[in-house]
């Protein structure tokens, strides 16, 4: 008897929960509102079954619980009843599946006019690539990746020269334009997931996956990684900014092309530069290399320690010791980050095989963010 | 087809009967069949892995016919070693079938002798495989790469033939043990030589797998 | 038959299926408790971040991986097949033992070895693997994931050993069911418990090979540098020597095993629960034939639905159509089972004994878990939900709660046969209520976190704008409930011990059940089970409340009266 | 394994698989011929669909002979034959789908990584 009450309570409470829940899908920001509709249809059909089965059990318990002298019926089977139920179930299934498959066929069928861009994943950051004026992405493969060519573009492919590269985890998209997302990974599986867009897909090294959507709401949306990719998985963040066509064009114009990036990577010898110039180089470099995806410049919490006031501070390490943050420490932390782990952080920073010049610039940039840094007379060594 | 499922077809009767579903099949033999079914899935999974990997690599696949060619007495003969190995294994299947027959005919001595021959042929198969491995390794084929093309050629080769080779080696030992026991008359009391047939099932299965490996790995 | 004498031959190196069953069960439960503790540690971190000092993200992923793996393979599979399969099959089909007792014993020792190797991975350098129980490459063997040096190797080796053990046991179970039944025991007179375990074992024999092969191939990738699953990658700025392999191939092989695997742990539960319901409702199971065919169809179909775990894996997207259809088709035979369970209750004489409580709770939790499976099977609905807490809620309801409830009920039901004593009802009921209500409280709200978009396998959810504070609070609530439920399991364990010495004497057939295991000459049954003469079966296992009999049950061994044709059911 | 009998494998009438030696010899010869033929496919350097068809035909014939005669399948009762031959059918689904999948992968690779 308490069990019957419990079952009825479960039904009542679940229905109430469903009606009043504050935890529901984030408002949709793409054309995939249909996905929400299929979810609701499925929810309705299964909800009815859930309620029916539980109530049926509760009633059975109440009516047929054991009483003295009561005996159960003997009824091995009832073919007609069973086939009726099978028929009803099949109906229910078709009711869910048919709209589902219909929407899915839209999902896999990319419209002709869709633009495309590429998402590249690596432990634990995002980067992006847009086709240049020619509208074609150059061939790219992990085999071609070098420090100067972080996307692994095929060097002799003419289509690649004008490709625009985004070496940070923030990407912009124009409003109301269908776009095909091509996905590729440098190391392990990742999954490009923006809850508001509904769609998601794994990034698989060694092949390219895709999906398409149309952003329908301007704003900033968080990119999450939805496939376990190691210790930093939960912190593999990014940002999509959906904006007007014009703002998007402007943003795009500011992106370096592959050809330009290749020319520009050779920094001039640091001894010829003023400290300010060096800091500027470092700023660009850390934007381009994606450092600021994990290190904030203003003290806000991010996967890695903030760079604000980092220089000159006494850093506590995971092994309990502490160390003064100076030039040497910073250089070591960049080239070989896992040799000393900062307390409270996961060993998730990839090593960056920077040249001396690049290190000088980055360290200068970090220094410029600290008020504890020695006066800025440009002594980098 | 319809008569197969009718009430009194042998199939339905067997499945609907009490005590045993496979009439007249001993426990050991039933179990061996089920084991072989499971083993089929193992080898099939290996071969599916091989197929997928081979179809999806961009490097060219080495030409097996050339890689496994031998130069004998000045003649360059493609795949010759594999052909010989195939013939040996088939021969051993033949002798094994004879042994089973002798077992049922209660010809104890002959059965044991034929099983020894089978085991010997099996051992020589393994020996030739060892030779083939050595040759390839000398030519620079490694699990992680080879001079002829796609690295997966070496990986699948060592994996698939290695696994088959293990099966053959296990079979040789199994045959030797059973043959020895027969020679010593262990099964005389019960007068039941099904054990030979069971060993035979396993041995023929190993041959069967080779048929597929021969076709898909060497000839394809 | 000469009885084995010494303690060692009787309880340790025993070839008696009943002793092996108990060995299997105890080992599995101990492993399960380890996994339970790991789940509590995980929940602590999720609900109350940073409350467990050593729980950094590495430790979290290691705990999560081992939790999932132990629960699915080393607890459920081993307990249902090795534990219940071993105990029940020979008794229920009227055999003296498994057909090859020595092999059966080896099976247990290999299983124990696999558990030891698994537990050893906690202590190897680098700790156990943290790649998720699905062990997807490349991350499973590349730096950046915990346990990529020794952890993954011990894990793969342990799995391989487990597969050997499961194969040795499985061959025995299948052969015993097919070839060693007693006189009169046709397949259609076997209790559904045997049917469930039988079909699950066949599936195990056919599905584990795919796991074995993928484990071998991954070991080669790791140890020999082959590239089966490894394309060219640049890991942590380092270009590796791998080239040309396909990570998606691993996923296909894994799920070709993995999906049947989830039914391997579900079908025995289906079978057992059918018997519990029938016995305690004093009524024949409704639509027995349909139940048997449903089990068989589910078994067959589960080999062609595997890629529903891969809708967002980057596989050929057109596969979605095929797999969505096959997946939802499985709901039909499963629905039949649910209907027949509830229709068995209808017009029954429902004794709300403790096993019955667990059994009914199973139906409720299984239905909600199965229905959420339909969301995930319907490919387009899966796309937003995949890899979120919705999936976690789905599989815990359907696998983490419902079969576990069946295990509790089944142990309660058969404990008197195994030990000769009843379990304590008060403790049993207390445990039941906490577990049943508690697990609902844990997993029902969890679905909504998934719909909200919270991804699974996240160590922490700091500073995500789309996650409101209320969701964090809900997470804390879930954790609190999880801890309560986990602690309540002590009651059950305590009951197992206490009743072994102090429980009420049970007698041979305390529940008034018809199937053969209750008709043994001794309780607990001795070696050889049946004394001088094997039993002879005259009817199906569900003759409850048959009109014209005084008792409300007729044992399978009781001959049919002259005037009645040989039973309603074959 | 001998304990199995002690535990009572009660009344098992064994069907004996005794068949004329001549049949075995014929199959044996046939297997040799088929193997030679498939070897010739390679030796003659046949290519394309002809090669693949011939390989498959000879392979299936050989496999069939081994299973049917050497493994005595053709004399077993239908219950056993079906129990063993039906389950591998689901492997065909795996093989077919994996072939499609591999094809898809290589296309993607050519498209995006270049040749
Ligand atoms: C015991 C284990 C078990 C069982 C029985 C099931 C049963 C089902 N599962 Fe589940 N599943 C898992 C264990 C299980 N699952 C696990 C462990 C995972 C996660 C693995 C991981 O990634 O770690 C998973 C994940 C999983 C996914 C992948 C999700 C993702 O990762 O994106 C999918 C997708 O299709 C799925 C579907 C289903 C379906 C359709 C069923 C069906 O069989 C359910 C059928 C039952 C019913 C439908 C209820 C009864 C029916 C009725 C009462 C009548 C209904 C009537 C109408 C609808 C009209 N499951
Ligand atoms: C049978 C399977 C099973 C069971 C019982 C459980 C039980 C529990 N699980 Fe687990 N879980 C999995 C299988 C299971 N889980 C799997 C496969 C994963 C995926 C791993 C991965 O992603 O790789 C997972 C992942 C997983 C996650 C997600 C982690 C993440 O994605 O980051 C969480 C989080 O809350 C969780 C929590 C719990 C809790 C709180 C319990 C319980 O504590 C719930 C309450 C307790 C009970 C219902 C009693 C259980 C009793 C026993 C275990 C044995 C004792 C037996 C006897 C006494 C006879 N589990
Ligand atoms: Cu990248 Cu998870
Ligand atoms: Cu599944």
| pLDDT tens, position by position, A342-367 | 887 777 787 787 888 888 888 888 98
Q: What's the pLDDT score for residue A345?
A: 79
Q: Which atom of ligand 3 is nearest to the CA of A234?
A: 2
Q: What's the pLDDT score for residue A269?
A: 59
Tell me the residue range of the domain where C365 lies.
Answer: 12-230+243-519
Distance between B74 CA and the closest CA of chain D, angstroms? 17
Same domain, A218 and A96: no
Contact D7 C534 (CB under 8 A): no
DSSP states of D47-69: -HHHHHHHHHHHHHHHHHHIIII
Asked whether residue B64 carries a pLDDT value surpassing 60, the answer given is: yes
CATH number of the domain that A140 lies in? 2.60.40.420
Whole-number Å distance between alpha carbons of C567 and C185: 13
Q: What's the pLDDT score for residue D15?
A: 52
CATH number of the domain that C82 lies in? 1.20.210.10
Which ligand has the nearest atom to the CA of A226? 3
| Least confidently predicted of A233-247, A248-262, B37-51, C218-232 | A248-262
pLDDT tens-digit profile of C436-461? 999 999 999 999 999 999 999 999 99
The three-class DSSP label of residue C132 is coil
Partners for D (CB, 8 Å, 3+ pairs)? A, B, C
Q: Which two structure tokens, joined as six digits, stand for C181?
A: 């039944």
- Band of pLDDT at residue A266, cut at 50, 70 and 90: low
Whole-number Å distance between alpha carbons of C261 and C258: 5
Asked if A331 and A352 count as a contact pair (C-beta separation under 8 A), the reply is: no
Same domain, A25 and A102: yes
Whole-number Å distance between alpha carbons of A85 and A79: 10
| Partner A, chain D 37-76, Cβ-Cβ below 8 Å | none
Asked, for residue B161, whether it belongs to a domain, the answer is yes
C300 interfacial to chain D (CB closer than 8 Å):
yes
Asked if C136 and C190 count as a contact pair (C-beta separation under 8 A), the reply is: no
Site from C18, C231, C303 to mutate, D interface, most D CB atoms within 10 angstroms: C303
> Per the structure, how many domains does chain A have?
3
**Residue range B154-160: average pLDDT?**
93
Q: What's the pLDDT score for residue C3?
A: 53
Asked whether residue B4 carries a pLDDT value surpassing 70, the answer given is: no
**pLDDT above 70: percentage of residues in chain A:** 94
The three-class DSSP label of residue B70 is strand
Asked whether residue C120 carries a pLDDT value surpassing 90, the answer given is: yes
Asked, for residue A378, whether it belongs to a domain, the answer is no
Distance between A333 CA and the closest CA of chain D, angstroms? 34
Asked whether residue A52 carries a pLDDT value surpassing 90, the answer given is: yes
CB atoms within 10 A of CB A258: 22
| Least confidently predicted of C58-67, C86-95, C368-377, D72-81 | D72-81
Same domain, A235 and A158: yes
**Residue range A150-165: average pLDDT?**
87
Same domain, A329 and A242: no
Q: What's the pLDDT score for residue A107?
A: 94
**pLDDT above 90: percentage of residues in chain D:** 22
pLDDT tens-digit profile of C347-400? 999 999 999 999 999 999 999 999 999 999 999 999 999 999 999 999 999 999
Partners of residue D109 in chain A, C-beta under 8 Å: 206-207
In short, whether C308's Cβ falls inside 6 Å of ligand 1 is yes
Site from C99, C137, C213 to mutate, B interface, most B CB atoms within 10 angstroms: C213
In short, whether C39's Cβ falls inside 6 Å of ligand 2 is yes
**Residue range C151-180: average pLDDT?**
95
Question: Please, what is the average pLDDT of chain C?
Answer: 92
- Band of pLDDT at residue A327, cut at 50, 70 and 90: confident
For residues C369-395, one letter each, b for 16 or more C-beta atoms within 10 angstroms of the residue's C-beta and e for the rest, the string is: bbbbbbbbbbbbbbbbbbbbbbbbbbb
**Residue range D66-94: average pLDDT?**
88
Give the pairing type, strands A115-122 and A125-130. Answer: antiparallel
**Residue range A158-170: average pLDDT?**
86
Q: What is the DSSP code (8-state) at residue C72? A: I
Same domain, A153 and A274: no
For residues C217-254, one letter each, b for 16 or more C-beta atoms within 10 angstroms of the residue's C-beta and e for the rest, the string is: bbbbbbeebbbbbbbbbbbbbebbebbbbbbbbbbbbb
pTM score of the predicted model: 0.94
Same domain, A252 and A172: yes
CATH number of the domain that B93 lies in? 1.20.120.80
Contact C102 D3 (CB under 8 A): yes
Tell me the residue range of the domain where B127 lies.
Answer: 26-219
pLDDT tens-digit profile of B85-118? 999 999 999 999 888 888 888 888 888 899 999 9
Asked, for residue C471, whether it belongs to a domain, the answer is yes
- Band of pLDDT at residue C552, cut at 50, 70 and 90: confident
- Band of pLDDT at residue D6, cut at 50, 70 and 90: very low
Last residue of a domain, one of A90, A107, A124: A107
Residue bearing tokens 């295990």: C407
Q: What's the pLDDT score for residue D10?
A: 37
Asked whether residue D12 carries a pLDDT value surpassing 60, the answer given is: no
Asked whether residue D19 carries a pLDDT value surpassing 60, the answer given is: yes
Q: What's the pLDDT score for residue A148?
A: 76
Give the pairing type, strands A219-225 and A190-193. Answer: antiparallel
The three-class DSSP label of residue C512 is coil
Q: Which of B32, B199, B178, B100 is nearest to D19 (CA)?
A: B100
Rg (CA), chain A: 29
Asked whether residue C26 carries a pLDDT value surpassing 90, the answer given is: yes
Q: What's the pLDDT score for residue C561?
A: 79
Asked whether residue A381 carries a pLDDT value surpassing 60, the answer given is: no
| Least confidently predicted of A148-162, A220-234, C29-43 | A148-162
Q: Which atom of ligand 1 is nearest to the CA of C312?
A: 32
Asked, for residue C462, whether it belongs to a domain, the answer is yes
Same domain, A252 and A274: no
Partners of residue C246 in chain B, C-beta under 8 Å: 52-53, 56
Q: What's the pLDDT score for residue D46?
A: 80
pLDDT tens-digit profile of A281-320? 888 778 767 687 678 887 776 778 888 888 888 888 888 8
> Per the structure, how many domains does chain C have?
1
Partners of residue C102 in chain B, C-beta under 8 Å: none
Whole-number Å distance between alpha carbons of A346 and A331: 19
Asked, for residue B18, whether it belongs to a domain, the answer is no
pLDDT tens-digit profile of C318-358? 999 999 999 999 999 999 999 999 999 999 999 999 999 99
Q: Which residues, 6+ apart, have CB-to-CB distance to C315 below 8 Å?
A: C248, C251, C252, C307, D101, D104
**Residue range C238-250: average pLDDT?**
90
Q: What's the pLDDT score for residue D3?
A: 35
pLDDT tens-digit profile of B28-58? 889 999 999 999 999 999 999 999 999 999 8
Residue bearing tokens 């009169």: C184
CB atoms within 10 A of CB C323: 22
Residue bearing tokens 């470099």: A285
Asked whether residue D66 carries a pLDDT value surpassing 80, the answer given is: yes
Asked, for residue A134, whether it belongs to a domain, the answer is yes
The better pLDDT of the pair D8, A340 is held by A340
Angle at C83 between CA C78 and CA C84, to 5 degrees: 115
Whole-number Å distance between alpha carbons of A119 and A114: 16
**Residue range C293-314: average pLDDT?**
94
**HEC string for chain A:** CHHHHHHHHHHHHHHHHHHHCCCCCCCCCECCHHHHHHHHHHHHHHHHHHHHHHHHHHHHHHHHECCCCCCCCCCCCCHHHHHHHHHHHHHHHHHHHHHHHHHHHHHHCCCCCCEEEEEEEECCEEEEEECCCCCCCCCECHHHCECCECCCECCCCHHHCCCEEECCCEEEEECCCCEEEEEEECCCCEEEECHHHCCEEEECCCCCEEEEECECCCEEEEEEECCCCCCCHHHCCEEEEEECHHHHHHHHHCCCEHHHHHHHCCCCCHHHCCHHHHHHHHHHHHHHCCHHHHCCCCCCCCCCCCCCCCCCCEEEECCCCEEECCHHHHHHHHHCHHHCCECCCCCCCCCCCCCHHHHHHHHHHHHHCCCCCCCCCCCCC
CA distances from C279 to A54, A141, C348, C436, C514 (A): 21, 64, 10, 21, 8
Asked if B190 and D4 count as a contact pair (C-beta separation under 8 A), the reply is: no
Q: What's the pLDDT score for residue D99?
A: 94
CB atoms within 10 A of CB C6: 9
- Band of pLDDT at residue C1, cut at 50, 70 and 90: very low
Q: What's the pLDDT score for residue C570?
A: 40
Same domain, A162 and A80: no
- Band of pLDDT at residue C5, cut at 50, 70 and 90: low
Asked, for residue C447, whether it belongs to a domain, the answer is yes
Tell me the residue range of the domain where A338 lies.
Answer: 267-368
Asked, for residue B96, whether it belongs to a domain, the answer is yes
CATH number of the domain that A311 lies in? 1.10.760.10
Asked, for residue C204, whether it belongs to a domain, the answer is yes
The better pLDDT of the pair C161, B12 is held by C161
B59 interfacial to chain C (CB closer than 8 Å):
yes
Considering only the beta carbons, identify the residue of D108, D111, D114 that sits closest to A154.
Answer: D114
**Residue range C161-170: average pLDDT?**
96
Rg (CA), chain D: 22
Contact C380 A89 (CB under 8 A): no
Asked, for residue B4, whether it belongs to a domain, the answer is no
Same domain, A140 and A225: yes
> Per the structure, how many domains does chain B have?
1
Whole-number Å distance between alpha carbons of A63 and C340: 18
Asked if C110 and C165 count as a contact pair (C-beta separation under 8 A), the reply is: yes
Q: What's the pLDDT score for residue A268?
A: 57
Asked whether residue D11 carries a pLDDT value surpassing 70, the answer given is: no
- By most ligand atoms within 8 Å of CB, the mutation choice from C39, C407, C414 for ligand 2 is C39
Q: Which two structure tokens, joined as six digits, stand for A324?
A: 């003064």
What is the Å distance from ligand 4's center to C322 Cα?
14
Considering only the beta carbons, identify the residue of B28, B86, B208 that sits closest to D66.
Answer: B208
Asked, for residue A374, whether it belongs to a domain, the answer is no
Q: Which two structure tokens, joined as six digits, stand for A211?
A: 């999906």
**Which residues are A125's β-sheet partners?**
A122
In short, whether A186's Cβ falls inside 6 Å of ligand 3 is no
Considering only the beta carbons, identify the residue of C189, C213, C245 that sits closest to B45.
Answer: C213
- Band of pLDDT at residue C568, cut at 50, 70 and 90: very low
């Amino acid at each position: 008897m308490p069990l019957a009450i419990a079952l009825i309570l479960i039904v009542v409470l679940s229905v109430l929960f469903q009606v009043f829940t504050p935890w529901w899908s984030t408002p949709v920001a793409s054309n995939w509102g249909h996905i929400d509709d299929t979810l609701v249809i499925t929810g309705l059909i299964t909800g009815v079954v859930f309620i029916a089965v539980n109530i049926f059990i509760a009633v059975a318990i109440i009516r047929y619980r054991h009483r003295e002298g009561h005996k159960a019926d003997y009824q091995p089977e009832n073919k007609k009843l069973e086939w009726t139920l099978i028929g009803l179930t099949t109906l229910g299934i078709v009711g869910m599946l048919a709209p589902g498959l219909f929407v899915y066929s839209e999902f896999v069928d990319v419209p002709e006019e869709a633009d495309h861009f590429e998402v590249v994943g690596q432990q634990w950051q995002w980067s992006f690539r847009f086709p240049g004026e020619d509208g074609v992405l150059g061939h790219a493969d992990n085999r071609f990746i070098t420090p100067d060519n972080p996307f692994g573009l095929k060097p002799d492919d003419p289509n690649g020269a004008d490709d625009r590269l985004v070496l940070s985890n923030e990407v912009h998209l124009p409003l109301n334009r269908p776009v095909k997302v091509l996905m590729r990974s440098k190391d392990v599986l990742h999954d490009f997931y923006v809850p508001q867009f509904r769609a998601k897909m794994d990034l698989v090294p060694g092949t390219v996956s895709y999906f398409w959507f149309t952003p329908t709401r301007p704003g900033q949306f968080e990119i999450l990684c939805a496939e376990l990719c190691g210790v930093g998985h939960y912190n593999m963040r990014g940002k999509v900014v959906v904006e007007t066509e014009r703002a998007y064009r402007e943003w795009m114009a500011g992106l370096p092309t592959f050809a330009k990036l290749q020319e520009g990577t050779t920094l001039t010898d640091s001894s010829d530069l003023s400290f300010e110039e060096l800091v500027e180089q470092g700023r660009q470099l850390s934007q381009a290399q994606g450092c600021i995806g994990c290190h904030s410049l203003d003290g806000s919490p991010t996967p890695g320690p903030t760079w604000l006031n980092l220089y000159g501070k006494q850093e506590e390490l995971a092994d309990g010791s502490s160390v003064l943050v100076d030039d040497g420490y910073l250089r070591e932390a960049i080239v070989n980050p896992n040799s000393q782990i900062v307390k409270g952080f996961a060993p998730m920073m990839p090593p960056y095989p920077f040249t001396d010049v690049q290190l000088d610039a980055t360290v200068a940039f970090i220094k410029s963010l600290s008020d504890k840094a020695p006066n800025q007379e440009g002594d980098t060594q | 087809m319809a008569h197969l499922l009718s009430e009194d077809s042998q199939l339905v009767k067997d499945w609907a009967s009490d005590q045993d579903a496979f009439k007249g099949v001993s426990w050991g033999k039933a179990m061996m069949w089920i084991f072989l079914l499971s083993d089929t899935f193992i080898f099939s999974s290996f071969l599916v892995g091989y197929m997928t990997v081979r179809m999806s690599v961009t490097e060219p696949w080495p030409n097996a016919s050339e890689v496994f060619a031998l130069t004998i007495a000045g003649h360059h003969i493609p795949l010759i070693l594999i052909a010989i190995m195939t013939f040996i294994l088939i021969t051993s299947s033949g002798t094994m079938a004879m042994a089973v027959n002798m077992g049922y005919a209660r010809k104890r001595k002959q059965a044991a002798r034929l099983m020894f021959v089978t085991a010997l042929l099996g051992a020589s198969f393994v020996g030739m495989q060892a030779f083939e491995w050595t040759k390839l390794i000398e030519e620079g084929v490694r699990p992680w790469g080879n001079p002829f093309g796609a690295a997966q050629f070496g990986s699948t080769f060592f994996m698939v033939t290695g696994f088959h080779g293990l099966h053959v080696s296990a079979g040789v030992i199994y045959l030797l043990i059973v043959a020895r026991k027969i020679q010593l008359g262990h099964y005389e009391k019960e007068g039941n030589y099904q054990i030979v047939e069971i060993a035979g099932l396993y041995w023929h299965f190993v041959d069967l797998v080779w048929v597929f490996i021969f076709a898909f790995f060497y000839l394809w | 038959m000469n009885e084995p004498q010494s303690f060692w031959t009787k309880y340790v190196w025993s070839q008696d299926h009943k002793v092996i069953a108990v060995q299997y069960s105890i080992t599995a439960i101990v492993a399960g408790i380890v996994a339970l503790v790991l789940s509590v540690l995980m929940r602590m971190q999720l609900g109350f971040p940073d409350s467990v000092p050593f729980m950094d993200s590495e430790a979290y992923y290691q705990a999560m991986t081992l939790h999932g793996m132990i629960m699915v393979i080393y607890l459920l599979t081993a307990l249902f097949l090795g534990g219940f399969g071993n105990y029940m099959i020979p008794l229920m089909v009227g055999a003296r033992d498994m057909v090859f007792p020595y092999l059966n014993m080896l099976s247990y020792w290999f299983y124990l070895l696999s558990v030891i190797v698994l537990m050893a991975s906690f202590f190897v350098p680098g700790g156990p693997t943290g790649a998720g129980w699905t062990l997807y490459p490349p991350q499973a063997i590349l730096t950046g994931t915990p346990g990529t040096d020794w952890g993954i190797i011990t894990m793969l080796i342990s799995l391989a050993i487990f597969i050997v053990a499961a194969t040795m046991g499985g061959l025995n179970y299948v052969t015993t069911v097919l070839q060693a039944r007693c006189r009169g025991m046709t397949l259609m007179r076997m209790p559904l418990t045997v049917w469930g375990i039988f079909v699950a074992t066949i599936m195990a024999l056919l599905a584990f090979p795919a796991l074995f092969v993928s484990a071998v191939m991954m070991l080669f990738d790791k140890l020999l540098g082959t590239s089966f699953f490894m394309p060219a990658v640049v890991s942590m700025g380092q270009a590796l020597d791998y080239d040309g392999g396909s990570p998606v191939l691993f996923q296909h092989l894994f799920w070709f095993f993995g999906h049947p695997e989830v039914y391997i742990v579900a079908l025995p539960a289906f079978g057992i629960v059918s018997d519990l319901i029938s016995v305690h409702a004093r009524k024949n199971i409704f639509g027995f034939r349909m139940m048997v065919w449903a089990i068989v169809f589910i078994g067959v179909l589960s080999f062609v639905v595997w890629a529903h775990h891969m809708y967002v894996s980057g596989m050929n997207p057109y596969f979605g159509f095929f797999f969505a259809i096959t997946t939802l088709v499985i709901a039909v035979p499963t629905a039949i089972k649910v209907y027949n369970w509830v229709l068995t209750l209808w017009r029954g004489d429902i004794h709300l004994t403790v096993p019955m409580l667990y059994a009914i709770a199973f139906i409720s939790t299984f239905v909600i878990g199965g229905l959420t499976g339909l969301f995930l099977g319907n490919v387009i609905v899966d796309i937003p939900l995949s890899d979120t807490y919705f999936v976690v809620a789905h599989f815990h309801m359907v696998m983490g709660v419902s079969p576990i409830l069946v295990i509790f009920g089944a142990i309660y039901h058969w404990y008197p046969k195994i030990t000769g004593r009843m379990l304590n009802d008060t403790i049993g009921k207390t445990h039941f209520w906490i577990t049943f209500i508690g697990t609902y409280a844990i997993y029902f709200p969890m679905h909504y976190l998934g719909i909200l978009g919270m991804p699974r396998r996240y160590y922490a959810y700091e500073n995500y704008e789309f996650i409101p504070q209320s969701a964090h609070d809900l997470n804390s609530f879930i954790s609190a409930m999880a801890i309560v439920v986990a602690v309540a399991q002590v009651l059950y364990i305590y009951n197992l011990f206490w009743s072994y010495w102090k429980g009420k004497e049970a007698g041979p057939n305390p529940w008034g059940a018809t199937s053969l295991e209750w008709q043994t000459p001794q309780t607990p049954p001795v070696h050889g089970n049946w004394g001088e003469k094997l039993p002879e079966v005259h009817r199906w296992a569900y003759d409850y409340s048959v009109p014209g009999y005084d008792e409300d049950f007729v044992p399978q061994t009781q001959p049919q009266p002259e005037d009645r044709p040989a039973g309603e059911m074959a | 394994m001998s304990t199995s009998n002690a535990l009572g494998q009660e009344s098992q009438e064994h069907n004996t698989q005794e068949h004329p030696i001549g049949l075995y010899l014929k199959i044996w010869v046939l297997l040799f011929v088929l193997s030679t033929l498939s070897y010739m496919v390679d030796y003659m350097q046949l290519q394309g669909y002809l090669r693949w068809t011939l390989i498959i035909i000879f392979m299936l014939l050989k496999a069939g002979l081994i299973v049917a005669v050497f493994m005595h399948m053709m004399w077993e009762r239908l219950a056993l034959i079906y129990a063993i031959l039906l389950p591998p059918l689901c492997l065909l689904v795996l093989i077919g789908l994996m072939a499609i999948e591999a094809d898809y992968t290589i296309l993607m690779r050519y498209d995006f990584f270049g040749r």
